[in-house]
Amino acid sequence: MSPKKSTSVVDTDEPDVTEKPEASRTGRFSGLAERVKKRSSRTPDKWSGKIGAAVLTLIVVASLSILGGAFWFYYRPDRAVDAAAAKSAIAAASEGTIAILSYSPDTLDRDFSTARSHLTGDFLSYYDQFTQQIVAPAAKQKAVKTTAVVLRSALTDFHPDSATVLLFINQSTQSRDRPEPSTTSSSVLVTLTKADGKWLISQFNPA
């Protein structure tokens, strides 16, 4: 075996070349940091003013939008209604509809008069003509008797002087030829107009 060669580490006087790039980078970063620091120290007031104004504008716009929406939601005409007013309109529509669709050959004049007390405007004129020319002759000749019952009701539109109510009804009909009552189901859209503080039917249409 050959003898082991001894090795030793020898220090040299050569400069450490790895330190120069690090020092160079540090110097560049230090200068950049100083420039950013100086620039930042000059701009806070300027930017804070702009940001503050923008935020204030957004707050004002949002507040006005919310207030406008709240005003529309709470004060629009079809929401100017409380529970008592809604109940009154529905009751008027229901009672008027029952009166219109219920009559007996023995009490025609009274039945028609009761129905007319719930009507107004052009519909009242139409009802008078229709009952006298069509309903009354048929009811007397064939002894037709009808009775209406309201099953369900819903207020679909409401204003201080007008309202619309949807009604679901059953109408029972019998006559001399057909003594056994037959029942038909239907729905009607009743438009009400307030006159002298009373709800009256101004339109009556199938739904």
Question: Both 99 and 66 in a single domain?
Answer: no
Q: Is 56 exposed, middle or buried (0-12, 13-18, 19+ CB in 10 A)?
A: exposed
**Residue type for 6, please?**
S
Domain count within the chain: 2
Q: Is the pLDDT of residue 127 over 70?
A: yes
2: in domain: no
Integer Cα distance of 29 and 123 in angstroms? 90
Domain that holds residue 159: 78-206
* Nearest Cα to Cα of residue 162 among 72, 73, 92: 92
Please identify which residue in the block is written with the tokens 């540090």.
26
* Nearest Cα to Cα of residue 169 among 156, 188, 155: 188
Question: Between 9 and 103, whose confidence is greater?
Answer: 103
Instruction: Assess contact for 147 and 172: CB atoms under 8 A.
Output: yes
**Residue type for 167, please?**
L
Instruction: Assess contact for 200 and 91: CB atoms under 8 A.
Output: no
For residue 133, the model assigns a pLDDT of 96
- 15-66 pLDDT per residue, tens: 444 444 444 444 544 454 455 455 555 545 554 555 554 544 445 444 444 4
Question: Both 128 and 160 in a single domain?
Answer: yes
49: in domain: yes
